[in-house]
Chain A
Amino acid sequence: MENFIDAFFNIDIMRQATPLLLKGAWVTLQLCAVVIFLGLFGGLGLALLASSKSALLRLPSFLFIDIFRAIPPLILLILIYAGLPFVGVRVPPFVAVCIAFLLNNSAYFAEIFRSGIKAIPKGQMEAARATGLSPAQAQAWVILPQAVRNVLPDLLSNVVEIVKLTSIASVVSLSELLYSANMARAVTYNSSPLVMAAGLYLLLLWPLVRVISRFQRGLSISH
């Protein structure tokens, strides 16, 4: 037991690692802000293209969505970070992560927005057009607000997924939370910094996970 506490919950080591981890957590937060922003807007654009009437716009968007949902973001990231230098393009880790996440997250967000748009009855568009709105106006003021509200739980759970996903940036030595914690682990030969990082992730994500579960609550079970 003592051994266990020493290996995973060593207070001294945690205290030592705190400044490093907080710095890492700050990078993680910045990274999240940027990639969630990029993903939301990329996804929205893609979803609109994928919901368009013209097959010329629709098919490439679907292809994009499915390709980037099929490739794990980790390999995408490595390909950008370690592959591009072979053709003379050198990108800093932060930019590499942003590009990889833009490609991956846009695809996921697009799927969510698209399913929301698809679920809005056709009559809504027709009614909006009948009141003299242009297709774009109808889309912006009538369809999208309803669609977004309907898929809010899915958007939220995708945000949680993205925050967790930022931990893969550690693979390209971006000094975010997991990278910092793993550095501290390597230096101290002790896993407590990793546990501490887990605690910080929990602090951020547990409330969101609870909210998502609330969204899904139904009636009670009868025995």
Chain B
Amino acid sequence: MDFFDAFLNPEIIATYLRPMVRAVWVTIWISVLVVISGLALGALLAGLRAYQKRWLSWPIVLFADLMRALPPLVLMLILFFGLPSIGIILNDWFVLYLILTLVLAAFVEEIFWATMTSLPRGQWEAGAATGLSFLQVLVHVIFPQALRMNIPPLVNRSLTISKMTAYGSVIGVKEIVSVAGSAQAFSGSATPLTMAALAYLIIFFPAMLLSRYIEDRFHYEH
């Protein structure tokens, strides 16, 4: 019974249930915001890159490369500890939100771009030949197809990055891991850590099943 006492102590669960639930909401909120803004920013960048102006593409490619090559945790620490020394102070949660959004945007941009360049040329030309402007072709013809063809990778990437909200604990965001960590230190029990793992399971296990379902369903045929 040692095990249950350490990892699933009912009293400790009862004590920390409320703060944990609050932390779950924080995690969910930040995740939702990150996914919405990351998808939007990524699509926007891919759209700008489609104009094929060197002075636009070049910074976008650089941005996407950096955000995909650097560990998000490193980026967060640089922002969180570095910016105050040049007089910019950002909220801990905002740093988390910002970095995860940028990272997601980088991946989304790459996913969209890969599809946009592999769609048959005729899709662009059919749009242009019917008098649609470049932007209209992009918005009404190309993006909807890119979105549909990429639902599985977009969902998977969004979930992976949502789970990175756990990194917020390193800079003090009151999300699941950090609340569980201080509860563990305070109570001298591992139970809050188990609660944290379970909380993630409750949020993301259904999401994993959903992504499996989506992957089976959206085998998009061209």
Contact = CB atoms under 8 A, between A and B. Distances in A.
A75 B180 contact: yes
Contact of B77 (A88, A194, A209): A194
A7 B85 contact: yes
Contacts of A210: 65
A167 B117 contact: no
Nearest to B74: A198
Given A70-B205, A72-B177, A210-B65, A216 B114 contact: yes
A136 interface: no
A191 B85 CA distance: 9
B26 to A, nearest CB: 14
Contacts of B6: 83, 86-87
Interface in A168-223: 168, 170-171, 178, 181-182, 185, 189-191, 194-195, 197-198, 201-202, 205-206, 208-210, 212-213, 216-223
Contacts of B180: 75
B78 A191 contact: yes
Main secondary structure of the interface of A (DSSP, over half): helix
B86 A4 contact: yes
Contacts of B207: 70
B81 interface: yes
Nearest to A88: B2
Interface string B1-27: 011001100000000000000000000
B93 interface: no
A201 B74 contact: yes
Q: What's the interface size class on B, roughly?
A: 35 or more
Interface stretch (B32-40, B94-102, B193-201): B193-201
A78 interface: yes
A86 B110 contact: no
Q: Chain A, interface size: which category? A: 35 or more
A120 interface: no
B73 A170 contact: yes
Contacts of A79: 190, 193-194, 196-197
A7 B86 contact: yes
9 contacts: A69-B208, A82-B184, A83-B7, A83-B194, A166-B71, A168-B167, A181-B74, A198-B75, A223-B128
